[in-house]
Structure 1
Amino acid sequence: MSALVASGGLTACAGSFDPATDARSPVAPRVQAMVDANREYPRWAEFPRTVEPLPEPMAIAAQVNTLRVTSGALAGEVSRIDWQTTQDPAAFAAEVQARVDAVPVDPVTAETLAEIEDFVRRTRERGRAPPPVDRR
């Protein structure tokens, strides 16, 4: 049943690809003339050519070789990177801390740090438990 309905729908569509012009219409002769004049699809020769010429195969090969050379150089640089640290972690941390300490700190930032530390101290003092109550 569904195949019958589907095939009926397809035949309904097929009629729309071959429309007939109503001969009683006053513009029918002009419409038919335009349809007949444009019935064929354009040929490839009628399409515009590309503006840029295609690169020569030797130019493409040169670009590919350049990419190969640069990727080889990059692979060489990557292979020289020490990806795993083999030194003592404490020494590495001390070295990083020394590098951070070597950067001068803005006075406003130091002031802010002092204010934060003062706030933390006051908050800890307020957070202390009260002394126990003597129940005797």
Structure 2
Amino acid sequence: MNALIQKIGSVLVMVVCASALTACASSFNPRTDETSPIAARVQALVDANREYPRWADFPKTDQPAPTPTAIAAEVNTLRVTQGALAGEVARIDWTLPGDSAAFAEALRARVAATAVAPATQQTQAEIDEYLRRARERGRAPPPITRRQ
């Protein structure tokens, strides 16, 4: 009995889906409103451009398609340059030369010598105070009493 209910239910679902798709099919073929003052112009533009774009309208390339041997040569060139680049990277000394503490101190001295904007030197408390004052300035004034 349950199989019969499932079969009927699935057929019913398919019928409902098919009818819904049929109802939506009319929206894929829109028509121009005949009462519109520009209906004739719109329909003329639609009819004139109904077949656009065509492959003949696309620009042709002057270069022929690369041959498989040309592609293979480019791939081999990339492999050679990749190997050369990997060799150069392998020759780089990625560790700090000398004392790391001296390097850090030299870096701190360079940073200290650079001028810093005043806004960057503000503490979080100063920023919060500035925001509080800005909110106070942005608050609406109290209403004026209209009674005298």
Do they superpose with TM above 0.5? no
TM-score range, shorter chain: 0.3 to 0.5
TM-score, structure 2 as length reference:
0.39
TM-score, structure 1 as length reference:
0.42
Highest Rg: 1 or 2?
1
